Chain A
């Protein structure tokens, strides 16, 4: 089958790629474009490790086909820091030990940022439920919740 030509914007840069019609966005990012920061934990939409933004919507990139992002804007973990300057969520996760093995971390960060964009002042319950689609087997979650709440209140003060 012929490969499809896809034109998109990834982390602010125009990107064109060729992909098979059955290739997921996650596989395109990881295998074709070398953007391996998005992780695969299940390929079935259950773990959130592959979370990315497509046109400002939080999605599991394992459930999106590469061809679907034609003419779209994609944001991944690789675009989260501003050059050398970490996003406040990245900085806070690091300081609070909100990560261990790190395989779930990019997905959490993308999902948490999406939450704070939508709802800059979430309650603890809202954080817990928003992130319930992101699994972590290492940290026990408490530090992740605290990090997100801390960043929310710091951003409010700023």
Chain B
């Protein structure tokens, strides 16, 4: 018999394939007769295409076709919105009209035998534009309410702020950031009559099938999407971007399979990004540190054709106790392409503002930042007036503070030094929603005592393969090496989007239910044995169970979130303005942890993402034309080895949540990114006495 597997630090089941180079990512699939596509992108941010001359490109060696809005087939573009698509607006239609709404919009597609030939010919396509005035700078944009307007109010925030003993109001700015997974986005499209196979980098195979079916006006069952290994995404592969349509379109015109792989530079135009946000926070409090008023406004960039919104201000309503709260979220439509969710979307940005303001309040009141938060710890979700399904903020503050040695902190800024380095300690709270969506799974026990378990989930890196195998093996009662889990193919039972930290809760619950059913069926037919292997031997043929698993009404009865606390030590060079993060300790109340080894790895990865957000990441948009002037890895700085702090501690506080989902899990992928940036800027203030409210904190801001 087997022992418990859920909760064990098992090594990745897909690890061997990854360390030997045998894991096959989508760009590596072979299709007979494969040819290559290269995209020509607009060089203006707004206007019309005045002319396109593709004659030179057409005659270039190896070129099979050049598609523009003048000769591309008209596409159906039937209505379709998947969960990651903005609810308001219409997706970009490619090569269907002469209108250009943003820099980098696809205006032509070249198909050629070889990749270099396609790229070369793309450079020969001559496009002229009739440019129009463009807004590409949020400072010049006109923010408008969301549809419908997103404003919340409880109590009398303005009155309470005016009457508060202590108040502050500040503006916090986060620039545009790009996910920059190391794997570029790629699609291979291959038609067989009216059926299409797509090998596509995606966090949701079924949504790609639905979207491309809608675009081409064919039934979704005609589209098969395969995406076994995803080389990182962090949200960039949630939506089905225009290049997927272009690959399918090119393949249809060429009559051969087409591969399109975006270049690193194109990643900044062909996929979404974390939107530039400008947030204003005003806090009012009593002298003993009780919050009396929170006013939190956020403006965020979006495109002219879609209203992309993220949960920028949601946590403000429940993170800290406060009787009078006002939030107002607005959008600034600009000549940019549509932003999208990036790791910790909404919370990572919104909580930067709130937790920075809380630190400023702690300084103003001369109260310890942890103590200030404890004084404002809510008993329930005061926004939704619901109990939390579980909330371990207190435990997280305590565990992280203890591990960090917070009690030795001298609260005076610039009071701690190591040689010439200014040392600063800062902290912040983190939270992220614990969601769950409908998911299906199949479990098949075989007579030889092995099992196949499947769901069309995705694994962009956190370890879906491994954690699902653990859940399946434990539930079936089989050793882990006898269970094979498969994902990433629309032929498998439908799974929800791999994002928002919902995979374990959703797919895990479905896998557990399917395996339980298969095991029960096997034992019922196995002639009285309690050993599933023996039962299967006796039955002599496969026993299969498929389950559709759906959440109940728990999200209506409870406010369900993971919570955490992040403590950081920085060293700032007073002469060079350079900040190094020396230590990070994060404590998380994230329900049950299915695989502590992989969960810890994911959290450390999120912390590094937070270091990037705080200190280096910034897609620099040229306000004159919308061009990203650092669209490459040489100039868009991401953390490297030397930036990783020597100490990165992850603590999972014990948390049993009986309400959130059958497995009691909350997920850690998103929350790991949240709270890191404000903890760092709070530490920088402690080190230097300088409050930097605009990310990233590059050395120039500290000199």
Contacts and interface: CB of A to CB of B under 8 A. Distances in A.
Given A135-B638, A145-B644, A43 B183 contact: no
A37 B16 contact: no
Nearest to B639: A141
B159 interface: no
B530 interface: no
Contact of A42 (B17, B25, B27, B633): B633
B642 A129 contact: yes
Interface in A132-157: 132-145
Interface in B87-136: 114-116
Nearest to B23: A102
A41 B182 contact: yes
A109 B19 contact: yes
Chain A, interface size: which category? 35 or more
B633 A102 contact: no
A36 B12 CA distance: 21
Interface stretch (B219-227, B387-395, B507-515, B594-602): B594-602
Nearest to B606: A140
**Chain A contact residues: helix, strand, loop or mixed:** loop
Nearest to A103: B231
Contacts, number: 177
A131 B14 CA distance: 24
Contacts of A43: 263-264
A40 B184 contact: yes
A8 interface: no
A131 B640 CA distance: 8
B47 interface: no
B641 A41 contact: no
A76 B21 contact: yes
Given A86-B16, A128-B642, A36 B234 contact: no
Contacts of B15: 93-94, 99, 102
A109 to B, nearest CB: 6
Interface string A19-59: 01011000100110011111111111011010000000000
B28 A30 contact: yes
B170 interface: no
Contacts of A133: 640
Given A22-B116, A49-B182, A94 B12 contact: yes
B22 interface: yes
Given A103-B25, A140-B608, A132 B18 contact: no
Interface string B1-37: 0000000000110111111111111011010000000
A141 B20 contact: no
Interface in A76-101: 76-78, 80-81, 86, 90-91, 93-95, 97, 99-101
A73 interface: no
A52 B326 CA distance: 56
Most buried by B among A36, A97, A103: A97
Given A23-B116, A36-B21, A46 B632 contact: yes
B230 interface: yes
B563 interface: no
A22 B640 CA distance: 30
Given A103-B182, A143-B601, A27 B641 contact: no
A61 interface: no
A132 to B, nearest CB: 5
Nearest to A130: B641
B232 A140 contact: no
A104 interface: yes
A125 to B, nearest CB: 8
B433 interface: no
Interface stretch (B298-306, B368-376, B458-466): B458-466
Contact of A77 (B21, B600, B633, B644): B21
B181 interface: yes
B263 to A, nearest CB: 7
Nearest to B460: A101
A69 B225 CA distance: 37
B18 A140 contact: no
Given A76-B21, A101-B181, A103-B231, A140 B604 contact: yes
B576 interface: no
A97 B461 CA distance: 11
Nearest to B647: A142
Contact of A106 (B21, B179, B264, B463): B21
22 contacts: A37-B20, A39-B231, A40-B27, A40-B261, A42-B632, A44-B633, A46-B264, A93-B19, A94-B11, A94-B12, A97-B12, A100-B232, A101-B230, A103-B182, A127-B641, A129-B642, A131-B641, A132-B640, A134-B641, A137-B234, A137-B605, A141-B608
Given A39-B231, A102-B229, A103-B182, 12 more contacts: A37-B22, A41-B264, A78-B20, A97-B601, A100-B463, A101-B231, A106-B19, A129-B641, A134-B641, A135-B638, A138-B182, A141-B639
A-B pairs, 9 with minimum CB distance: A37-B21, A103-B231, A102-B18, A101-B461, A100-B461, A140-B604, A46-B633, A77-B21, A141-B644
Interface of A: 20, 22-23, 27, 30-31, 34-44, 46-47, 49, 76-78, 80-81, 86, 90-91, 93-95, 97, 99-106, 109, 124, 127-129, 131-145
